[in-house]
Amino acid sequence: MRHWIIKLYKKANDKGFALGAFNFSTNEILKGIVDAAVKLKAPIIIETSEGERNFFGLEESVAVYHAIKKKYPHVILHADHTKSFEEIKRIIAAGYPSVHFDGSKLSFRHNIRETKRAAEYAHAHDVFIEGELGGIVGGSTMHKKSLKDVLTKDIMTDPEQAKEFVELTGIDSLAISIGNAHGIWKDKPKLDFERLKAIAKATGKFLVLHGGSGISASDFRKAISLGINKININTEMRVAYAHALLKGLHNREDYVPYHYLKDVSAAVSKVVEEKIIIFKAENKI
């Protein structure tokens, strides 16, 4: 499966689009994501963080992924922000074809050691692996603070370190910190495009942008043109989901879940469709 995933990233890189990676923790969210991908004929990544997959169920997420793949093969299931080797083993055993090992909280040398270990294990099991260098602050929610107060230059990815990191770990793709952050903040994120350019040149690897919620369409397009191949979106869908659910429950005419939940999936779909179009991923299957 790893080879097929690499081919898909390469296609995105060659054709100048980015793979949207959308998080899910409920079936309504997943349905919203997949409906959007099918409608726009876009290859897509569906992903779960540790909290999300513990809620949805690890085996359950793999089973649903296989069911989706039978009807729409242009999907990758990915494990987002996995912070220990034990968790990597658990995920791969469950059948995830793609994982993200996040050692960004470790020291540079420790991150290299742990990521290399995870990469060797993943590759031995034919699994694609994303590493991370530099800090990506915040959780996928609405924040009360300003981004400029928490984002400092020293947590951003250094191009020279990134080169060494990808060479020594053997990872397939790299998540970077260039002014992006998880969640939606009081101020808009300001991406450091010069840094992105330098990282792309130094590493020659597929690059991943986390914290896509709140970044403008023009900044996304520019980031893609400079080497971003995968973009993670979560918070905007979570907000759309919660608002639609509240409204649906408030306005419901009966107690039939699929009567008031279909608008919830549609609200998530709308966010995903917008992103797919911005990422130029439509009609790329």
Query: Which C-beta is closer to Zn ion: that of 28 or that of 52?
Result: 52
Query: Which C-beta is closer to Zn ion: that of 78 or that of 210?
Result: 210
Contact set with Zn ion (CB under 5 A): 210
Contact 122, 99 (CB under 8 A): yes
- Residue sitting closest to Zn ion (CB): 210
- Shortest distance in whole angstroms from residue 143 CB to Zn ion: 14
- Shortest distance in whole angstroms from residue 155 CB to Zn ion: 14
Residues marked active site are found at 80
Which parts of 151-251 fold into alpha helices (H)? 159-169, 193-203, 217-225, 235-251
- Shortest distance in whole angstroms from residue 136 CB to Zn ion: 6
Query: Which C-beta is closer to Zn ion: that of 210 or that of 280?
Result: 210
As a whole number of angstroms, the distance between CA 155 and CA 183 comes to: 17
Which parts of the chain fold into alpha helices (H)? 2-15, 27-40, 50-56, 58-71, 85-94, 108-124, 147-150, 159-169, 193-203, 217-225, 235-251, 257-278
SS3 207: strand
Contact 18, 229 (CB under 8 A): yes
- Shortest distance in whole angstroms from residue 182 CB to Zn ion: 5
Query: Which C-beta is closer to Zn ion: that of 31 or that of 210?
Result: 210
